[in-house]
Each structure stands twice: as C-alpha cells, then as structure tokens.
Structure 1
Amino acid sequence: MRYMATYDLMETIRNTNQWLGATASAMASYPMFSMVPNPAFAWMAAWGEVTERTFQRMIVKPDWGIRTFTCEDGKDHLVNIEPVVERPFGDLIHFNVSGRETQPRKVLLVAPMSGHYATLLRSTVKSLIVNCEVYITDWHNARDIPVSEGKFDIEDYTLYLVDFLKELGPDTHVIAVCQPAPLTLAATAYLAEEDPKAQPRSLTLIGGPINPNAAATEVTDFGHRVTMGQLEEMMIQRVGFKYPGVGRMVYPGLLQLASFMSMNGDRHSKAFADQIQRVTRGEASDHDAHNRFYDEYLAVMDMPAEFYLSTVERIFKNGEIANNEFVVNGRKVDIGKITTVAVKTVEGAKDDITAPGQCVAALDLCTGLPDSKKASYVEPEAGHYGIFAGKSWRNNIRPLVLEFIDANADAPKEPSKRSTKPKIAAV
C-alpha cells in the first residue's frame, strides 16, 4: 500500500503545482493590477502561465497533429489515423491519406516503450508519409490498463510485434527505433521459425541496444551497477486510485521524467527561466519552439513494472539478445535463423545513450544471412535523437533507409549457401 501512497503523493505534488500556476496566472492578470506600474505582476502572471502548462502536460497524451498532407496532385488530403489491430497494451495504427493511391512502400515504425508516447516519432512519421504507407505501434499508458488485463513483459512485447507483422503481411519494411530494436530482431527470428512467409522484407534497426556491453554508456553502467532488488525498491510503485489501472505495478512516468531532466538540469532550468521572460515581454506563443519541444518531452507514460524490470535484467544485465539466448514462450529464439530478411543498422557517432557498436552487433548475430543482405551506417554528427529526427535524419539517414528498402522490395529467395564470415556493407 505504501507504493500506492507514493504514487498518489507524486500525483498530488504535480496537481498542486498545476493549481498554483493557474492561480498565480489568474490573480496577477486581474485588470486592476494593470493600474499599478509594478513588473512583479507581469512576471507572476508569466510564471503562472508557464508553470500551469508545464505540470498539466505531464498527464496528457500528445496529439499526432498530422491532419492533412499535400499530394503530388497539389491538393490537401486528409490523414486518417486508423487502428488496424487493437490490444490492451498497444495498438497498430495506420496513417491513411484519403484519396491517395496506395504507396508501394509499406513501412512499420516500431516505437519505443520507454517513457514517452509514440508521438515522439511524429517528425519521423511526417517524413515517411510523403511516399510510404506508414504504420506504427502505439503503446498505451500502463496507468490506464486495468489489472485484469494481466502482465506485459518483453516476451509479450515480442509476441505483439509478431502478431502485428502477421497482420501486415510479408511485403512490410520494419524500422525499429532505439529500445525496441533487440525485441524487433527477436520477433523477426521468431517468425523465421514459426511462420517464414510472414517475415518482413527488410529490418532497419536505429540506435538500439542489441549488445549494450559493446560500448559502455551511463545507461549501461547504471544497469550493471544496481541490483534488481534495488531497482524494484527504488523505481516500482502501484498506480493510485485516480486511474483505471489502480493497483497495477508500474515504473511511473513522473519518476522517469525526473530522471530525464536531472541528466541536463541546468539546461532545462535555463530554458524555463528564459520562457518566463519571453512570456513577460509578450514574445512567446502557444506553439513556439519551447512549447513544441516541452509539450512532447514532458508528456510521459507509466511502463508496466514487469516490462521495465525484464528489459534491464534480460537485455542489459544478462545480454540474452547479444548472446543469442533469448526465450519467448519457452522457445529459444535463434537469430541465426533469419536468412531472407535484409538487415540494416543505423548509429549516431555522438550517441551517448546507445553508443556506436551496440546496434551494429545485430549483423554478427545474423549468421544465416548473406553479406548482400547486410548493411550499416554511422551518422558522424548525430546524437541519439538526431538519428531518427532532425536534419541528420531528413538529409542523410532517411534517403539511405529508403534506398535500402527499395533494394529489398522484391520477395526474397532462400539463399543456397550461408555466409560464415559476414562482412558489413558500406551503406
């Protein structure tokens, strides 16, 4: 019960700060105060406005904000976000551009379940929707999932991906971003044995911890430094009475957000102080650069406790994917069974979360895949976020990924010989 009380305490603190911000903004905005030439009232109103928005965004799922798309005919076409498969812990959704011919490239974006919503990949979706049929995994906030729906760990996540791939069919090209890369690789290997005809055409792994020990970072050091008992004691709580998932064990989004922000505390403090000054001077707007970034960054979701703990223990500590020892439903998944799915890895040279070397390790695991089906790329100036969003993605990485997709668009043929010494392609 103490865990539930802690969860409700965090929500109470968040709610109180939102109320304080709203109160300060309302009080300092009374017309009669405008007769008093004191800048403190303007600053108070600005502080209240920024504070209210900041703490209110923490419990709101962001909107995709992709409403129309201008096609080659010069007309704006509506973009309908349609569920294809609906499950308790996550859906498969499709960005359907009304009135446009079906695009030849069918792309599944596998979004991370790592504290933020799938909308974190909004710019990635926008860049691909131009000439692709885009599907994405839309994971749900664990606080809104009743306990009666059961558990959700990395094996369940993998099986969700297996079902999504079966639904989409073999002409699919998968792009896994960050955290889900090892599980997407495992799901593909699972299909290689269970239902080979349902395997995707290609698999692009972007900044994923296939082998976390290949290049140490603060994330991997933390994973090895703490014990599972310490992690469960420090990070796991029960959802409080306010949400449908009351009683479910989770890694709370608010606790994750505190960890995110502590990594760059000075920068975030300065960003909010600067924003208060801009609001005071009347220079801020509802969708300015600060609000666009923090509306997304502050919107966090709870992760199922079993998913978070099994990720740390099995992916980071035990290295089950890296050692090709991952088990799903009692069956060992052999990544070497992938023989027809083209695999490409993308890394950022300045990635301090998934350092170069961690993702490209996937190619060594694909022992049954010929060299012609393997590729890797390292973006020289990109950090972790830059390899799937921003100018590095738009100008350099996206064209290479689409080129890789096109090169592997045809139905594959089973290779007659397996490569024993895989070489990494240059693109």
Structure 2
Amino acid sequence: MRYMLSYDLMESLRNTNQWIGATARAFGAYPAMAMTANPMIEWMKAWGEVTERSFARMVAKPDWDIPTVTTEDGRDHPVRVMKLVERPFGDLIHFKVPGRAPRKRRVLLVAPMSGHYATLLRKTVISLLPDCEVFVTDWHNARDIPVSAGKFDVEDYTLYLMEFLRHLGPDTHVIAVCQPVPLALAATAYLAELDPGAQPRSLTLIGGPVDPEANHTDVTDFGRTVTMGQLEETMIQRVGFKYDGVGRMVYPGLLQLASFISMNAGTHAQAFQDQILRVAKGEAAEHDKHNTFYDEYLAVMDMTAEFYLSTVERIFKGREIARNDFVVDGHKVDFSKITTVAVNVVEGEDDDISAPGQCLAALDLLTGLPQSKKASHLERGAGHYGIFAGKSWRNNIRPLVLDFIDANSPEEPKTRKKRADKAPHVDTKTARAPGDDAESLPI
C-alpha cells in the first residue's frame, strides 16, 4: 500500500506546485496590482506563469503537431497520423501524406521507452517526411494501462518490434534511437532465425547501450553500483487511484524526470531563471525556444516496473546483449545469424548518456555480416540529443543515413543515385555543425 501512497503523494506535490504557480500568476495579473508600481509584482507573475506551465506539462502527452509537407506538385499536403497495429503497451503508427505518391524509402523509427513519449522524435520525423514513408513505435504510458493487460519487459518489447517489422514487410529500414538499440538488434537477429523474410533492409543504430561497459558514463556507473533490491525499493511505486492503471507497479515518470534534471541541474536552473526574466520583461513567447524544448522535456511517462528492472539487470548489469547471451521467449538469440541486414552505427562525441563505443560494440557482435555491410559514424562535438534531432542530425547525420538506406535498397531513388553510389561503408568523421550546443541538452 505504501507504494501507492507515495505515488499519489508525488502527484499531489506536482498538482500543488501547479496550483501555486497559477495562483501567483493570477494574483499578479489583477489590475489593482499595477497601482503598487512594485517590480516584484511582475516578477511574481512571471514566476507563476513559468511554474504553472512547467508542472502542468509533466502529466500531458504532447501532440505530434506535424506541419504540412510540400511535394513535387508544389502543394502543401497535411500529414495524418494513422495507427497500423494497436497493442496494449504500444502502437505502430504511420505518418501518411494524402495526395502524395508513396516514397520508396520506408523507415521505421524505433522510439525509446526511457521516460519520454515517442513525440521526442518529432523533429526527426519532420526531417525524414519529405523523403521517406515514416513509421514510429508509439509507446503508451504505463499508468494508463490496466493491470489486466499483463506484464511488459525487455522480451515483450523485442517481440513487439518483431511484430511491427512483420507487418511492415522486408523493404523496411530501421532507425533505432538510444534505449531500443540493443533490442532492435535482438529483434532482427531473432527474425533472421525465425522468419528471415521479415528482416529489415538496414539497421541504423543511434547512441544506444549495446555494451554499457565499453565507455562509462554516470548512467552506467549508477547501474553498476546500485543493487536490484535497492532499485526496487527506491524507484518502483504502484499507480494511484487517479489513473486506469491503478495498482500497476511502475517506475514513475516524475522520478525519472528528477533523475534527468539532476544530471545537469545547473544548466536547467539557469534556463528557468532566464525564462522567468524574459517573461517579466515581456520578451517571452508561447512557442519560443525555451517553451518548445521544455514542453517536450518535462512531459514524462511511467515505465512498467518489469521493463525498467529487466533493462538494468539484463542490458546493463548482465550485459546479455554484449555477451551474445540474450534470451527472448525461451529462445537464445544469436547475433551471428544476421548476415544480410546492413548495419550503420551513429554516435556523438560528447554523448554523456550513451558514450562513444557503447553503440559501436554492435558491429563486433555481427560476426556473420560482411564488412561491406557495416558502417559507423562519430559526430564530433555532438551530444545525445543532437545526434537524432539537433543540427548535427539535420546537417550531417541525416544525409549519411539516407545515403546508407539508398545503398542498401533494391532500387535507388534516381534523385539520390549519385550520392548513394558514395554511401559510407567505412568509419567517417564529420566536423560539428555550428551552433549545435543549444540543441544538445541531455534527455
């Protein structure tokens, strides 16, 4: 029972802070306050506005809000989000552009289940839509899933990916971002044995912990030092009465958010101080840079307890993927069975969540894959966020990924044929894009 009470206590504290912010904003907005001519009134109002917005975002699922896409006919076409496969813990969605001829590149973006919604990849989706048919794994918030839906751990995640890949067919190119990288690799290896015809054409693995011991970070150090008993005792709570998932054991999104912020507390504190100052001066806007980033960053979701604990125990502590000893549904996955799927690894030099080397370890596991089908890229100066949604992604990484996809497609699009002929099959080093700092905040 105490797990449920602590969950409701956290939600009560969040709700209280939201209410205090709303009260301060409303109080400072009274016309009578203008008679005081006291600058503290404007400061209080600004503090209240930023505080109310911030705590309200923590329980809101962001919209995809994908803009229109301009096609060859010069017209702007709306983008429709369509569910292709619906499951209790996640859906396969398609960003369909009505009136546009289907693109030859079919890309499945595997979104992380690490505290944020799949909408964290919104910029990635927008950047790919003009050239690709884009599909995304849209994971659900565990607090909204009834206990009757059962469990969901790393094996279930892998089986979901296999089902999605079977649905999309063999002409699919997978881009896995961060946490799902090792599981996307496992799903492909399992398909290579079980259903070779359902394998994707290529795998692009971006900043994921295939071997956490390859290069230590604060995340891996935490995983190595804490015991599973400590994690279960301090991180796991039971969903309270407010949500459909009442009684389900979860790693709450609010606790995850506290961990995210603590990694760069000074940076975040300064960002909010600056925003309060801008609001007080009348320089802030509804969709300014701060609000655009933090509306997404603060929106967190609960993870099932079994998924979080099995990730720490099997991926980080046991290194089952790195040791080629991962079992799914009673079957030991063998990464050497991947012999036809081209694999591209992308890492950021300044990635403090999945440091360089952790993702690159995937290529060493693929002993059955020809060297010509392996590629890697280290983005100089880029942080975790920048390698899939920042300027480094847009200016440097995205073109390389599209070239890699074209080089491993049965028919290359004519518009990119020349560039595809020069697709990277060896390690590449690219200079940092100017101004990438602002888009490389850790997630």
Q: Does structure 2 retain, via aligned residues, the 8 Å contact 1:109–1:175?
A: yes
Give the letter aligned to residue 270 of structure 1: Q
Q: C-alpha distance in 2, partners of 1:426/1:227?
A: 37
Q: What CA distance in whole angstroms lies between the structure 1 residues aligned with 2:165 and 2:98? A: 23
CA-CA distance at 1:35 after TM superposition: 2.1
Greater alpha carbon shift after TM alignment, 70-79 vs 232-241: 70-79
Equivalent position SS for 2:283: coil
Contact 1:58 1:300 (C-alpha < 8 Å) held by counterparts: yes
1:157 corresponding residue in structure 2:
157
> Are the counterparts in 2 of residues 67 and 80 from structure 1 also a CA contact under 8 Å?
no
Q: Partners in 2 of 1:355 and 1:37 — Cα distance?
A: 52
Alpha-carbon shift at residue 198 of structure 1 (Å): 0.5
C-alpha distance after superposition, 1:3-59 (max 9, x if no partner)? 100000000000001011111111111112222211122111111111110100000
Aligned mates of 1:91, 1:383 — CA distance in 2: 29
Aligned ranges for residues 311-322 of structure 1 at < 5 Å?
Answer: 311-322=311-322
Equivalence for 2:434: none
Partner AA of 2:398 in structure 1:
R
What does residue 421 of structure 2 align with?
none
What is the CA distance between 1:263 and its match in structure 2? 1.3
Q: Is the 8 A contact 1:165 1:199 kept in 2?
A: yes
Residue 426 of structure 2 corresponds to residue 425 of structure 1: yes
Please give the residue correspondences for 1:19-418 in structure 2 after superposition, counting only pairs within 5 Å. Answer: 19-410=19-410
- Name the SS of the counterpart of 1:125 in structure 2: helix
The residue matched to 2:18 in structure 1 has which SS? helix
Report the CA distance between 1:218 and its aligned residue. Answer: 1.1
Amino acid paired to 1:11:
E
Q: Give % identity.
A: 73
Q: Which moved more, 1:181-190 or 1:276-285?
A: 276-285
Number of matched pairs? 415
Q: Structure 1, residues 344-381: CA drift from partner, whole Å, max 9, x if none?
A: 11111111111111111111111111111111111111
Deviations 1:238-261 (A, max 9, x none): 000100000000000000111111
List per-residue Cα deviations over 1:185-220 (Å, max 9, x = no partner).
000001001100010000010011111111111111
Aligned AA for 1:5?
L
Q: Which shows bigger deviation, 380-389 or 130-139? A: 380-389
Gaps of 5+ in 1: 412-423
- Give secondary structure in 1 for the equivalent of 2:176: strand
SS at 2:78 equivalent: strand
Greater Cα offset, 261-270 or 310-319: 261-270
Q: Please state whether the residue corresponding to 2:79 is helix, strand or coil.
A: strand
Q: What SS does the corresponding residue of 1:143 show, helix, strand or coil?
A: helix
Question: How much does 1:68 deviate?
Answer: 1.4
**What letter matches 2:207 in structure 1?**
G
CA distance in 1, matches of 2:403, 2:67: 27
Cα distance in structure 2, aligned partners of 1:175 and 1:114: 16
The Cα shift of 1:275 comes to 1.1
Note the C-alpha offset of 1:72. Answer: 2.3
Aligned to 2:437: none
Q: What is the rounded CA distance, in whole Å, between the counterparts of 2:269 and 2:372 in structure 1?
A: 49
Moved more, 358-367 or 31-40: 31-40
1:135-180 deviations in whole A, cap 9, x for unaligned? 0000000000000000000000000000000000000000000100
The amino acid across from 2:43 in the alignment is W
Q: TM-score, normalised by structure 1?
A: 0.96
Once residues 67 and 402 of structure 2 are traced to their aligned partners in structure 1, the CA distance between those partners, rounded to angstroms, is 24
3-state SS of 1:405 partner: helix
Report the residue type matching 1:426 in the other structure.
Answer: D
Question: Structure 2 CA distance, aligned partners of 1:226 and 1:89?
Answer: 28
Deviations, residues 94-139 of structure 1 (Å, cap 9, x unaligned): 0001110000000000000000011111111011001100000000
SS at structure 2 position matched to 1:19: helix
Q: In 1, distance between residues paired with 2:352 and 2:276?
A: 30
Query: Quick one: which amino acid aligns to residue 177 of structure 1?
Result: V
Task: Report runs of 4+ in structure 1 exceeding 2 Å deviation.
Answer: 424-427
Mapped to 1, the partners of 2:25 and 2:378 lie a distance apart of: 47
CA RMSD of aligned residues (A): 1.0
Distance in 2 between residues matched to 1:66 and 1:392, nearest whole Å: 21
Instruction: Give the AA of the match of 1:196.
Output: P
Q: Whole-Å Cα distance in 2 between the matches of residues 188 and 146 of structure 1?
A: 30
Q: Which residue of 1 aligns with 2:436?
A: none
Q: How far apart are the structure 2 equivalents of 1:15 and 1:207?
A: 35
